């Protein structure tokens, strides 16, 4: 059978398109792996799941990476990685466990060891030397626990501090976040901070029994052998319901999201790691801000807003730490995500992509970060489907690109 000229043209075009597609696929370069913890049980297991995605260097688009693995426990709510990106830690609130995974160079996760707490873990952080893992846990009594790390393995508990308000020690405290200073050898000292709110004084829909201020940040210095000592004037007031905490990479500023007041609270870090309010704060966010992240160069900050299903972008004044809204070319200071973003992270390899885990959207939303303005634009084909009810995400560089960072 002979082809018509039109058929021949179609065949040549189809072959050309196929070749072009294959060539394009061959040029895909993975710069990061995104790990997303989802809390919903599966048909065969009550445990949560961890999905792995590969980040395309050119577009920021996500594609499936290594196979999904069990979170090692029930109801994962938080994750943290070691500073060398070879170890991942997952907090499972449903069965009070923290599970350690080894991270292979191809993004494959291997479960290693587990510790069980006396209450649900809600947040995790690893110090810059990867020598200690910090966990805040509890449902009505808040505790900060410190565990020794040895080549990633979770060892003995080396310190424990109850998060209580002076004068209101019997109040019901709910822990929400933890953060360790990025450069643990500065003049400011080795600082670790935990957030919590007083449910005895802030309890929407329920009764209150206390007149205490509701929101707090607890500060500690880390001494020899991991000993923890309260910083001067700790705890520090932190709005009504602080839910997330982070700091800039040069250990000069700390920021807390206040879920109940729709605001971001900023602090300057003084000598011996004490905190002082930024003079012109707090700063307006979207409605019900949940998570907060700062880009690896310390220039921009992003807040996920749960009720608005959006991300607020801020430019940080490097002189005084003041965040101001980064306005997109469209004139909007916010960026739409899928439904109910509860976690946010920025890729460490290029420092160019921002992702949120969307709890009710069962997805991950992606954005491209403009390094000159801090504004965001959606990545190709966002949002990306995940397992049901994602609650946390972390990002690990692939290793084929230098990690973005700033010097102290």
The token pair at 215 is 């929101």
Query: 369-406 in b/e burial notation, b at 16+ Cβ within 10 A?
Result: bbeeebbbeebeebbbebbebbbbbbbbbbeebeebee
For the chain, the structural domain boundaries read 30-397
The token pair at 80 is 């943290």
Q: What is the pLDDT of residues 259-276, one digit of tens each?
A: 999 999 999 999 889 999
Q: Could you tell me whether strands 49-56 and 236-237 are parallel, antiparallel, or unpaired per DSSP bridges? A: unpaired
Please check the confidence at residue 400 and state whether its pLDDT lies above 90: no
Averaged pLDDT for residues 310-314? 96
User: What per-residue confidence (pLDDT) applies to 18?
Assistant: 44
Residue 209: CB atoms within 10 Å = 13
Q: What is the pLDDT of residues 27-66, one digit of tens each?
A: 679 999 999 999 998 888 899 999 999 999 999 999 999 9
Most confident of 128-132, 296-300, 361-365: 361-365
Query: What is the CATH class of 30-397?
Result: mainly beta
Averaged pLDDT for residues 113-135? 96
pTM of the model: 0.90
Q: What is the pLDDT of residues 175-190, one digit of tens each?
A: 999 999 986 554 455 8
Averaged pLDDT for residues 200-208? 95
What would the 3-class secondary structure string for 87-123 be? EEEEEECCCCEEEEEEECCCCCEEEEEEEECCCCEEE
User: What per-residue confidence (pLDDT) applies to 328?
Assistant: 80
**By C-alpha distance, which of 93, 90, 54 is closest to 70?**
90
**By C-alpha distance, which of 87, 89, 73 is closest to 152?**
87
Identify whether the C-beta of residue 135 lies closer than 8 Å to the C-beta of residue 124: yes
In the chain, % of residues over pLDDT 70: 89
C-alpha 2/C-alpha 152 separation (Å) is 66
In the three-class reduction of DSSP (H, G, I as helix; E, B as strand; rest coil), residue 253 is classed as strand
User: What per-residue confidence (pLDDT) applies to 161?
Assistant: 98
Q: Please enumerate in sequence order all residues whose Cβ is within 8 A of that of 71, keeping only pairs 6 or more positions apart, or say none.
A: 37, 47, 48, 49, 50, 90, 92, 99
Averaged pLDDT for residues 318-334? 85
Burial class (CB in 10 A: 0-12, 13-18, 19+), 211: exposed
Across the chain, what does the average pLDDT equal?
A: 90
C-alpha 15/C-alpha 10 separation (Å) is 9
């Amino acid at each position: 059978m002979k082809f018509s000229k039109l058929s021949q043209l179609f065949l040549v075009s189809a072959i050309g398109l196929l070749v072009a597609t294959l060539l394009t696929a061959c040029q895909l370069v993975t710069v990061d792996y995104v790990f997303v913890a989802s809390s919903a049980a599966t048909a065969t297991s009550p445990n949560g799941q961890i999905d792995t995605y590969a980040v395309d260097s050119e577009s920021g688009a996500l594609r499936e990476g290594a196979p999904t693995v069990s979170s090692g426990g029930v109801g994962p709510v938080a994750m943290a990685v070691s500073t060398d990106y070879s170890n991942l830690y997952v907090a499972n609130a449903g069965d009070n466990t923290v599970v350690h995974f080894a991270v292979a160079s191809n993004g494959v996760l291997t479960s290693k060891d587990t510790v069980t707490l006396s209450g649900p873990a809600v947040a995790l952080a690893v110090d810059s030397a990867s020598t200690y893992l910090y966990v805040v846990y509890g449902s009505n009594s808040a505790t900060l626990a410190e565990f020794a790390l040895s080549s990633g393995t979770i060892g003995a508990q080396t310190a424990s501090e109850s998060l209580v308000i002076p004068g209101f020690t019997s109040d019901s405290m709910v822990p929400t976040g933890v953060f360790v200073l990025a450069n643990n050898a500065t003049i400011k000292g080795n600082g670790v901070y935990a957030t919590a709110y007083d449910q005895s004084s802030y309890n929407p829909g329920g009764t209150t029994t206390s007149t205490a201020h509701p929101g707090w940040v607890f500060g500690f210095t880390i001494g020899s052998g991991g000993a923890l000592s309260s910083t001067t004037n700790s705890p520090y007031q932190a709005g009504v319901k602080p839910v997330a905490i982070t700091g800039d990479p040069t250990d000069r500023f700390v920021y807390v999201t206040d879920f109940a007041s729709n605001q971001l609270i900023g602090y300057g870090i003084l000598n011996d790691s004490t905190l002082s309010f930024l003079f012109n704060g707090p700063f307006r966010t979207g409605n019900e801000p949940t998570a907060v992240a700062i880009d690896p160069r310390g220039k921009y900050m992003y807040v996920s807003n749960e009720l608005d299903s959006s991300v607020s972008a801020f430019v940080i004044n490097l002189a005084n730490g003041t965040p101001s809204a980064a306005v997109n070319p469209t004139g909007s200071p916010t960026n739409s995500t899928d439904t109910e973003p509860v976690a946010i992270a920025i890729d460490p390899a290029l420092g160019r992509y921002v992702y949120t885990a969307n709890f009710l959207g069962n997805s991950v939303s992606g954005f491209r970060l403009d390094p000159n303005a801090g504004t965001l634009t959606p990545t190709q084909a966002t949002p990306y489907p995940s397992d049901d009810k994602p609650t946390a995400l972390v990002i690990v560089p692939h290793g084929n690109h230098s990690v973005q960072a700033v010097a102290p």
